[in-house]
């Protein structure tokens, strides 16, 4: 689509100007298109703050949002640990995104779940996340509980909100942690420096200011850890999160200078990167109460790839 700036137009910064012309598109969507070069002014890329002039020709390559694919796909593989009428326990493999979303152009766990369990289609609060009450990052493996009925979804959601769900992870980090156990109690919010990245901010909530974007909203976050074993320049940990923030374990461990092996986003220049093609982070234990009030506990061993890597360290 092409728009020529007229003398009668109210001229503002580029993203605002286009938003006025195309009110069906959100500013965030337009900013993303401008950033990726899908919007040009007189054939040249500009930033969102650019102010067009009368006579300029603005070309917008994409004027419709991607529609996430929620079709069933039986080719998506995952291990089933247990299935009941109310819920399913699965082992999510590394490399698999949990649910569709704008900007995700690959098949997800949800596509596979819908193929095997079509009854979950209307369970939950979001059609893109049927049955999903919690997530694991793309490159994290391990246990997940999927609600198969709305009553179970609400029941699990309540337990997550009350922090009564038991979730334990196994992680291998760079460096030797001297303490036998500890807790990281540092708020987590959006990174001030990198879009899409989270950061631990050891300051009072709301105290941080991000240039040009107003206050950063931090949320409390607590992560407990216990040393399982120290091997050479690494430490194998048992990790338990008391809150559920985005990338919490990765952010917190990196904040104490012990990033997770295989993590290329939350790391530092002092560590020697390991080409695992995944994170050495596995959701190994999961516990919750079922609808009858009976406490259920599930355990999952490390995947073979992580076992083999760990054995090479000894």
Distances (CA, A) of 33 to 19, 59, 210, 268: 12, 11, 22, 31
Category of 54 on φ-ψ map: left (φ > 0), alpha (ψ -120 to 50) or beta: beta
CA separation for the pair 264, 275 (Å, rounded): 10
CA separation for the pair 265, 3 (Å, rounded): 39
Q: Which residues are catalytic?
A: 137
Cβ contact 83:91 at 8 Å: no
SS (H, E, C) the chain: CEEECCCCCCCCCHHHHHHHHCCCCCHHHHHHHHHCCCEEECCEECCCCCCCCCCCEEEECCCCCCCCCCCCCCCCCCEEEEECCCEEEEEECCCCCCCCCCCCCCCCHHHHHHHHCHHHCCCCCCCCCCCECCCCCCCCEEEEEEECCHHHHHHHHHHHHCCCCEEEEEEEEECCCCCCEEEEECCEEECCCCCCCEEECCCCCCCCEECCCEECCCECCEEEEEEEEEECCEEEEEEEECCCCCCHHHHHHHHCCCCECCCCCCCCCCCCCCCCCCCCEEEEEEEEECCCCCEEEEECCCCHHHHHHHHHHC
């Amino acid at each position: 689509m092409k728009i020529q700036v007229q003398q009668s137009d109210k001229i503002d910064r580029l993203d605002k100007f286009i938003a006025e012309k195309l009110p069906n598109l959100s500013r965030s969507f337009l900013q993303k298109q401008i950033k990726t070069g899908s919007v040009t002014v007189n054939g040249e890329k500009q930033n969102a703050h650019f102010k067009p002039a009368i006579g300029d020709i603005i070309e917008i390559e994409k004027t419709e949002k991607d529609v996430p694919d929620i079709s069933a796909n039986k080719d998506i593989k995952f291990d089933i640990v247990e299935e009941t009428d109310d819920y399913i326990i699965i082992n999510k493999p590394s490399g698999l995104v949990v649910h569709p979303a704008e900007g995700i152009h690959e098949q997800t766990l949800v596509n596979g779940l819908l193929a095997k369990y079509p009854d979950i289609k209307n369970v939950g609060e979001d059609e893109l996340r049927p049955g999903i009450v919690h997530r694991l990052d793309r490159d994290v493996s391990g246990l997940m509980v999927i609600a198969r009925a709305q009553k179970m979804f609400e029941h699990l959601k309540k337990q997550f909100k009350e922090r009564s769900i038991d979730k334990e992870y196994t992680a291998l980090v760079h460096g030797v942690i001297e303490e036998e156990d500890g807790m990281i109690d540092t708020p987590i919010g959006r990174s001030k420096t990198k879009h899409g990245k989270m950061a631990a901010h050891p300051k009072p909530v709301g105290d941080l200011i991000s240039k040009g974007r107003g206050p950063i909203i931090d949320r409390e976050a607590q992560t407990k850890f216990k040393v399982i074993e120290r091997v050479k320049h690494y430490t194998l940990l048992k990790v338990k999160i008391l809150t559920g923030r985005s990338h919490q374990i990765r952010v917190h461990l990196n904040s104490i200078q012990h990033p997770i092996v295989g993590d290329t986003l939350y790391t530092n220049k002092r560590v020697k990167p390991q080409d695992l093609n995944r994170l050495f982070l596995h959701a190994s234990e999961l516990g919750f109460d079922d609808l009858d009030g009976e406490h259920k506990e599930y355990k999952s061993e490390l995947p073979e790839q992580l076992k083999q890597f760990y054995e090479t360290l000894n």
